[in-house]
Amino acid sequence: MDSQIAVKTGLKRFTSTIPPFPRTARRVMDLLRDPRTQLTKVGGVVSLDQGLASRVLRLANSAYFGLPRQVSSVTDAIVLLGIANVRNVVISASVGQIFLRGLDSYGMEDGCLWEHSVGTAYAAQIISRRVDTRTYSVAFSSGLLHDVGKVAIDGALKPADRKDLLSLIRIRGELDAEREVAGVAHCEVGAAICETWKMPREIVDAVKFHHDPLQSTEDSHLGRIIATSNLCAKLVLQHGADLTAGHLEGSCPGCYLPDEAILGRIRNDLPGIIASARDLLTGTSEVLDEPPGANKK
């Protein structure tokens, strides 16, 4: 019981460093849970929030989402995107700014986490089509959010603790180092944040178990897909286009070994996706001097 209380206390400490999910975006997510919702209604809700509407429109017109034509109406963009991509765009537009910062605790420069997250999200979409089409509508969002806990941990730690965490990660790996320095792992913090943001249950589960997908309690394959996609994005950053099944084998119990067709597409597409990840967010958010609740003294 004491350990459970300690974990809950630690989670609250870190989740408080992340801003709440925007009210309008939460309303959109609620609407998208109802299959009877008309996308024109979603467009009307987004249009009432000028800031979110602007970010959604810029993202929708980006090369990543590939609309057949440039649009100037938020409602037109949402109708053309379709339900799955509307969720992806709204989440990206709502949380993108917090992924742009450098994370001293993890040795990550400005923008690196965003690049990795977009790469993971893209790989998750590719793999979900082949492995379990039920997961496709939430694969991108799950991949995008899987490391949000790192932002929270880095924002809450004092400078000395961030240095200690970075040093320990190099010796013992992320999860062991986080639990020793912070008391919780980033996957646990990330799941708590997604719960606070009222993300769908399957996204919360995938974020929580993306380092240990065999512990997932969901009946879908999403946790294993995100675990695999996370590794693929990391390996592409390390090895470029030289990604083989051998790089994945034995890396994470429960991960998939994609067939050559999927690996080929990831090898060909992911370097460009990662390289252009910052362009995906251009004009959609501003990098603040300090995130709410951050302890950067």
CA atoms within 13 A on the CB side of 49: 20
Full-model pTM = 0.85
- Mean pLDDT of the region 150-166: 96
Chain centre distance of CA 51: 21
Q: Classify residue 289: in a domain, yes or no.
A: no
Give the Cα separation of 186 and 148 in Å (integer): 8
Q: Classify residue 292: in a domain, yes or no.
A: no
Give the Cα separation of 227 and 146 in Å (integer): 9
Mean residue pLDDT of the chain comes to 84
Q: Which residue has the higher pLDDT, 241 or 169?
A: 169
pLDDT tens track for 168-221: 999 999 999 999 999 999 999 999 999 999 998 999 999 999 999 988 877 778
- Going by C-beta distance under 8 Å and a sequence separation of 6 or more, which residues neighbour residue 285? 55, 93, 96, 97, 100
Q: Classify residue 99: in a domain, yes or no.
A: yes
CB 144 within 8 A of CB 184: no
- Going by C-beta distance under 8 Å and a sequence separation of 6 or more, which residues neighbour residue 238? none
What is the model's pLDDT at position 10? 62
**Where is average pLDDT lowest: 158-162, 211-215, 288-292?**
288-292
What is the model's pLDDT at position 88? 87
Q: How many CB atoms lie within 10 A of CB 258?
A: 22
How many structural domains are present in the chain?
A: 1
Give the Cα separation of 78 and 31 in Å (integer): 13
Q: Classify residue 190: in a domain, yes or no.
A: yes
Q: Classify residue 287: in a domain, yes or no.
A: no
Give the pLDDT band (50/70/90) at residue 241: low
CB 65 within 8 A of CB 32: no
- Mean pLDDT of the region 65-84: 86
Q: Classify residue 290: in a domain, yes or no.
A: no
What is the model's pLDDT at position 189? 96
What CATH number corresponds to the domain at position 194? 1.10.3210.10
What is the model's pLDDT at position 291? 35
Q: Classify residue 293: in a domain, yes or no.
A: no
What is the model's pLDDT at position 199? 92
Chain centre distance of CA 144: 2
Per the structure, the complete domain to which residue 94 belongs is given by 2-281
CB 146 within 8 A of CB 230: yes
Q: Classify residue 294: in a domain, yes or no.
A: no
CB 28 within 8 A of CB 75: no
